[in-house]
Chains A and B, each alone.
Chain A
Amino acid sequence: MSSMLNTGARSGPNVEVHRYYSGAVVIVCFLALVFQAFLHKYGRWVELIDLPLLVTIYFGVSRRNPVSGMFLGAIIGILQDALSHGNPIGLYGIAKTLVGYLASSVGAQVDTEHPASRFILVFFLFHFHQVVLAAIERVLLNHPEPFFTVRLLLDSLGTAAFAVFFFALLDRLRRTS
């Protein structure tokens, strides 16, 4: 998966495409899923931060390839569904597929290296992810999942703030050319 993400990606003429150490993408994604599943039982604070979502956004934006971002989001989302309890396989998969595609598309057009842009990007993609989830649950599962609440707003702000630091940490995995 890392080779897929590391090769064949092309971006716009003024945007830099980042490369990572071999296996870094896979390991980060795996750890994000493990932490999300493992730490979930230690407190509800874990629910505030969706690590797989942040990983999807980060690598999608960094690679700036919609196809690779889309597949990365699909794989992470399906694995997240598989590790969750009661979620049908594909619920998070669809949402993160769209998020990965959108993040890659945005990353291919604008510079997302600045913390403010990352904050805003994560904030909006968080709500986009929530809207897609709510739509799927409403349409397919007949669950009245809300599209927007104050709690979600606070969560999105917290996640976006956390993402600024988390992305900076992940930047250290980049290979310098």
Chain B
Amino acid sequence: MQAIFSRRQPLRLLAGVVLAQIFLLAFQIKREHDVRLIRYWAVEAISPVERAGAWVFSRVGGFWSGYVGLHNARVENERLRGELDRLRLRNAQLETEAGEAHRLSALLDFRQVHPEAPMLAAQVIGASADPISHTLFINRGERDRVRRNMAVITPDGVVGKIVEIFPAAAQVLLINDKDSGVGALFSDTRTHGVIRGTGDIRPRMDYVVNTEKVRVGEAILTSGEDRIFPKGLLVGTVADAAQGNPFQTIHVEPAARLDRLEDVLVLLSLDELAPQKTEAGPAEVEPAAPASATAVPSKSPVTAPLNPAPKNSEPIAPSSHSGSPPAANPPAPQP
């Protein structure tokens, strides 16, 4: 105490006492918004330092976070790009598989509708290298009991016939090929004719006299006279018809999408595909995968879409109006 109260440090003591009382005042005095002066001073004293610190930290933090964020964004961008590529590839695979499943489902439905007809699912594995000829190759051949002049169809309509046989493959001549010919008839008038390929996407129906009324859009079915295609298969519809000499010029819109074939059915017999309803169980369906299995007829109570229910199911004789059209193709009976 003696040292404190000595006269060596009176000014310090004075400053201390005054300062203590100033703080005492500051604890009591309130400024605007009922804020005590000591708090006001404290905030005023601290806030510049806080602002400076916040500014520095925000700058440094912003720079750092930006750098790190940029780096992370680049890494993530690369990762996302890779993932996007993988997903695109996966999406393409799934789309392909979905399309294939859809096609196989259509084939399966068709086979279930026609359990009486032995047929073999096949996959299109190639096409002709010649741009003029319209042929394609399927993955079924001699090992699968495929023979020449067997009909090749899809659930939509007639595709063509087998013209060449290989051990594990076969060549199909499409109905729009110039060398192709299919015995056909109009679904309504039952007028017979022959569908010949033109080399174009649309074949032509010949030997229909000018007096015959042909309606655009009328369905054209196989007549069975060529002994290749069973009677009643849908070939296509009349695209346009014009008077000619001596027969009409009728272009046919093929029912099957001949330019986008991927899966087809090979009919193993010439039996007519008659729509019928049975109470059989589920059918065994052979997928279009490359295999040597034979077709197994299946049973299903479904109506065939390929047979547009001809009004008269009796065998159709050549129409009196159309004369006697020549055979579409030389009969080639097969075992």
Contacts and interface: CB of A to CB of B under 8 A. Distances in A.
Contact of A97 (B6, B18, B26, B37): B18
Secondary structure call for the B interface:
helix
A71 B10 CA distance: 11
Interface residues of A, number: 24
B29 A67 contact: no
A65 B7 CA distance: 8
Secondary structure call for the A interface:
helix
A70 B29 contact: no
B21 A94 contact: yes
Contacts of A142: 31
22 contacts: A4-B5, A8-B2, A8-B5, A10-B7, A65-B7, A66-B10, A67-B7, A70-B10, A74-B21, A78-B21, A88-B25, A89-B25, A89-B28, A90-B24, A90-B28, A93-B21, A94-B21, A94-B22, A136-B25, A140-B22, A140-B26, A142-B31
Contact of B22 (A71, A78, A90): A90
Contact of B14 (A10, A98, A136): A98
A101 B22 CA distance: 16
Contacts, number: 58
B54 interface: no
Contacts of A140: 22, 25-26, 29, 37
Q: Chain B interface residue count: which class? A: 10 to 19
Contacts of B2: 8
Interface string B1-14: 01001110010011
B22 A141 contact: no
Contact of B7 (A66, A78, A93, A136): A66
A51 interface: no
Interface string B21-53: 110111011010000010000000000000000
Contacts of A67: 5-7, 10, 13
Listed residue (A71, A74, A90, A93) with the most chain B CB atoms within 10 angstroms of its CB = A90
Interface in B137-181: none
Given A10-B7, A89-B24, A101-B10, A141 B17 contact: no
Interface string B239-268: 000000000000000000000000000000
Interface in B165-213: none
A141 B18 CA distance: 16
A130 interface: no
A91 interface: yes
A36 interface: no
A88 B17 contact: no
A146 B138 CA distance: 114
Nearest to A136: B25
A90 B25 contact: yes
A133 B26 CA distance: 15
A68 interface: yes
Contacts of B7: 10, 65-67
